[in-house]
Amino acid sequence: MKGRKVLTAVAVTAGLALSVAGCGGGDDGNSGKGTSSSAPAKQDGGEKQESESPTTSTDKTLAEVKSNGITLTVTQASRDGGGFVTVSGRVTNGTDGRWIGAEWISDETELKKNGGSLAGASLVDEAGKKKYLILRDTSGRCLCTKFQGGVPQGGTIDWFAQFPAPPEGTSKVQLQVPTMPPAPVEISEGE
């Protein structure tokens, strides 16, 4: 049974990584200037969940919210064919020190081990009166960015988070992240 669980987790993670990889492209380098990119990464049992993907200054800002010196920018919210929504953007640390995202942790027991990540995020469909919690793999790791090492003072890092998709007719939702005001976003249809 344990072998099946591991194989299932690997298959699900590989499928998600391939579907996300098909939507992006570009270099895998990090300029080292406080900016890095994160997208759904292959989860091979390790703690690191970040991988590089391109982000350009031409990204359209769908929403931006600020709290406690942190700026959360949403640049994309797209419905994918697999029945989920991927939301992504940037987080900028305007505090006086390194920010590790500890306050964004989930209250759910299964996600407690996800430390400095977007595990506490959710999508809220106010019209449909539903809340969609972040997706997780079979090991209880969120399908979201984990801020390994934190974000340095003045630094910006790209992030992603995946949620179950609301019904087809729903395009307006709110991204809710602990300690941040709700960010209204419009879901686009994926490619």
Give, for all 191 residues of the chain, the pLDDT tens digit. Answer: 544 444 455 445 545 444 444 444 444 443 333 433 334 443 333 343 333 334 444 578 999 999 999 999 999 999 988 899 999 999 999 999 999 888 888 877 777 777 788 888 999 999 999 999 999 888 888 899 988 889 999 999 999 999 999 998 899 999 999 999 999 999 998 65
Query: HEC profile for the chain?
Result: CHHHHHHHHHHHHHHHHHHHHCCCCCCCCCCCCCEECCCCCCCCCCCCCCCCCCCCCCCCCCEEEEECCEEEEEEEEEEECCCEEEEEEEEEECCCCCECCHHHCCCCHHHHHHCCECCCCEEEECCCCEEEECCECCCCCECECECCCCECCCCEEEEEEEEECCCCCCCEEEEECCCCCCEEEECEECC
Amino acid 121: pLDDT? 92
pTM for the structure as a whole? 0.67
Q: Given this model, what pLDDT does residue 115 score?
A: 76
Domain boundaries, the chain: 2-189
pLDDT in tens, 131-180: 999 998 888 888 999 888 899 999 999 999 999 999 988 999 999 999 99
Identify the architecture of domain 2-189 in CATH. Answer: Sandwich (2.60)
| pLDDT (0 to 100) of residue 92 | 96
